[in-house]
């Protein structure tokens, strides 16, 4: 049996996985064009070009690029008429702004559980949480796995809520051929440094609803309207524009996206196949309907009884073997101090899976899936090595 690196053995690998973000001559060339244009701001033609291209690629008619994904979510809520007194259902695990965006515009987030193997909002729990004040639902396409779009749409028709997709993880992702972000009333993406496409910071709201998109544009552009003057302001707007420099980077990043998704999917397949043979390691499900899972992350959970070690020991051991990995969010969103504040209203439904996930789940970051097939196989080899050391004494193999 090989000795683990955390026990003083040789790590599975010493070479680094590819670093992130990735850029090249194309980003430099386009950024240089903006630099020499005399218009570095949000009115450079690259911004409109990017908005149209990105929205079109995600099955939406309009795109409004904004400073970041967090503000994009607030904008989507405001532009779709959500406000004080309204409830908005969100998953109990996500990045904080999925929920704080709701509070910041004066509405009330309602936290519901996630699915054990989907890591996405549990749609049954979501339906049970619907109340008289429910006006919208924010599904998060976690890790690049689109939420079950047919079921979501069925529930939407039945209960008539607005869908605002948090697609911060899901650039280019699909469910039965339909692209993430383009299914709801509005969809919001992030271009923050770690995301699958990045300009350092940035975001975009996409929508095929003319009214929502026009309102979002106006709110993000000082309350102006296309038919009004520069100093005529119709909405209580502000400036949420991205710069031409960011749009230049994003145009180049968009060109890289299909190839990067292809590489991640191929490597994820290798990891999924290899780890399916290791007892106690459960990776995020990959339903057939998820025609493109972009694997921005590869999440999973550890069954400590089957694996012989808990999530924390697994994470430490895998890091020791040279594979970057992150424990999951440390607690469901509603356990953050901000939602303990009595002045900030929220409603919490039973979330047993979200509670468990905080202790037993993890994710592999996208960069470990951006290398070669051998790099991906190293993840499998490292996990197998760890399992051999920790496996429960009586387990002969994975039960059928
Ligand atoms: C699921 C999710 N929603 C929203 C955001 C917010 O995006 P940003 O960091 O661009 O504000 C992030 C990322 O940070 C995220 O992961």
Q: What is the pLDDT of residues 30-70, one digit of tens each?
A: 999 999 999 999 999 999 999 999 999 999 999 999 999 99
Q: From ligand 1's centre to the CA of 186, what distance in Å?
A: 15
165 and 275 within one domain:
no
Do 313 and 339 have their domain in common? yes
Q: Is 97 in the pocket of ligand 1 (CB under 6 A)?
A: yes
95 lines ligand 1 (CB under 6 A): yes
Cβ pair 205, 216 in contact under 8 A: yes
In short, whether 140's Cβ falls inside 6 Å of ligand 1 is: yes
User: Which of 94, 170, 192, 326 maximizes ligand 1 atoms within 8 Å of its Cβ, making it the mutation to test the pocket?
Assistant: 192
Same domain membership, residue 281 and residue 245: no
Pocket test for ligand 1, best of 190, 202, 242 (most atoms within 8 A of CB): 190
Q: Are 200 and 87 part of one and the same domain?
A: yes
Comparing CA positions, the residue from 4, 52, 127, 13 lying closest to residue 371 is 13
Whether the CB of 322 sits within 6 Å of ligand 1: no
Within-domain flag for 308:
yes
In this prediction, residue 399 carries a pLDDT of 55
Closest atom of ligand 1 relative to the 166 alpha carbon: 3
Instruction: Tell me, yes or no, whether 247 and 277 share the same domain.
Output: no
Q: Is 19 a domain residue?
A: no
- Asked if residue 92 and residue 53 are part of one domain, the reply reads yes
CATH of the domain at 295: 3.90.1150.10
Could you tell me the CATH number of the domain that includes residue 89?
Answer: 3.40.640.10
Ligand 1 center to 14 CA (angstroms):
31
Which atom of ligand 1 approaches the CA of 70 most closely? 11
Q: Is the CB of 68 under 6 A from ligand 1?
A: yes
**Positions in the chain short of pLDDT 70:** 395-400
Average confidence score pLDDT of the chain: 97
- Check if 246 has its Cβ closer than 6 Å to any atom of ligand 1: no
Domain shared by 261 and 198, yes or no: no
Q: What is the pLDDT of residues 260-312, one digit of tens each?
A: 999 999 999 999 999 999 999 999 999 999 999 999 999 999 999 999 999 99
Is 336 in the same domain as 237? no
Pocket test for ligand 1, best of 21, 70, 193 (most atoms within 8 A of CB): 70
Verdict on whether the full-model pTM lies above 0.75: yes
pLDDT computed for residue 394 by the predictor: 72
Q: 398 in a domain, yes or no?
A: no
Residue 74 falls inside a structural domain: yes
The answer to whether residue 321 is domain-embedded is yes
Give a yes or no: residue 358 inside a domain. Answer: yes
Distance from the CA of 171 to the center of ligand 1, in angstroms? 12
For residues 294 and 157, membership in a common domain is answered with no
**For the chain, what is the domain count?**
2
Of 225, 253, 281, which marks where a domain is finished? 253
Domain-embedded: residue 323:
yes
Atom of ligand 1 nearest to the CA of 73: 4
Domain boundary among the residues 215, 231, 253 is at 253
Task: Give the per-residue pLDDT at 396.
Answer: 54
Contact 313, 76 (CB under 8 A): no
Nearest-CA residue for ligand 1 atom 16 is 95
- Residue 217 and residue 364 share a domain: no
- Same domain? For 10 and 50 the reply is no
Shared domain for 175 and 285, answered yes or no, is no
Domain limits at 351? 5-14+257-390
- C-alpha 203 to ligand 1 mean position (Å): 9
Name the domain boundary from 198, 233, 253: 253
Per-residue pLDDT, 1: 85
Both structure tokens of 78: 């405001």
Classify residue 172: in a domain, yes or no. yes
Atom of ligand 1 nearest to the CA of 142: 1
């Amino acid at each position: 049996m090989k000795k683990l690196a955390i026990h003083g053995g040789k790590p599975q690998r010493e070479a680094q996985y590819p670093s992130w973000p990735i850029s090249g001559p194309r980003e430099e060339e386009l950024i240089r064009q903006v630099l020499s244009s005399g218009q570095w701001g949000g009115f450079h033609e690259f911004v409109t070009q990017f908005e149209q291209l990105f929205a079109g690629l995600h099955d939406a008619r309009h795109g409004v690029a904004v400073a970041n994904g967090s503000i994009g979510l607030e904008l989507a809520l405001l532009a779709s008429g959500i406000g004080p007194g309204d409830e908005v259902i969100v998953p109990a695990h996500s990045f904080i702004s999925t929920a704080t965006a709701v509070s910041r515009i004066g509405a009330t987030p309602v936290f519901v559980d996630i699915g054990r193997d989907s890591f996405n909002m549990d749609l049954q729990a979501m339906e049970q949480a619907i109340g008289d004040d429910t006006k919208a639902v924010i599904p998060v396409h976690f890790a690049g796995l689109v939420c079950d779009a047919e079921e979501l749409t069925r529930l939407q028709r039945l209960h008539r809520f607005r869908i605002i997709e948090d697609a911060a993880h899901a650039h280019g992702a699909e469910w039965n051929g339909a692209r993430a972000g383009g299914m709801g009333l509005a969809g919001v993406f992030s271009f923050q440094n770690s995301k699958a496409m990045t300009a350092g910071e940035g975001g975009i709201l996409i929508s095929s609803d003319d009214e929502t998109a026009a309102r979002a544009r106006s709110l993000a552009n000082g309350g102006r309207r296309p038919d009004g003057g520069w100093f005529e302001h119709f909405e209580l707007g502000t400036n949420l524009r991205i710069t031409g420099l960011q749009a230049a980077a994003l145009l180049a990043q968009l060109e890289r996206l299909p190839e990067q998704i292809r590489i991640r999917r191929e490597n994820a397949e290798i990891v999924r196949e290899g780890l399916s043979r290791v007892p106690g390691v459960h990776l995020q499900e990959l339903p057939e309907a998820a025609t493109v899972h972009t694997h921005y992350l590869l999440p999973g959970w550890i069954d400590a009884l089957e694996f012989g070690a808990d999530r924390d020991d697994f994470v430490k051991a895998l890091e020791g073997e040279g594979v970057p990995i992150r424990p999951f969010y440390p607690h469901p969103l509603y356990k953050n101090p901000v939602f303990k504040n009595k002045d900030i209203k929220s409603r919490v439904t039973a979330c047993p899976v979200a509670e468990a996930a905080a202790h037993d789940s993890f994710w592999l970051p996208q960069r470990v899936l951006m290398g070669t097939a051998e790099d991906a196989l190293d993840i499998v080899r490292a996990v197998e090595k760890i399992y051999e050391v920790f496996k429960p004494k009586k387990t002969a193999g994975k039960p059928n």
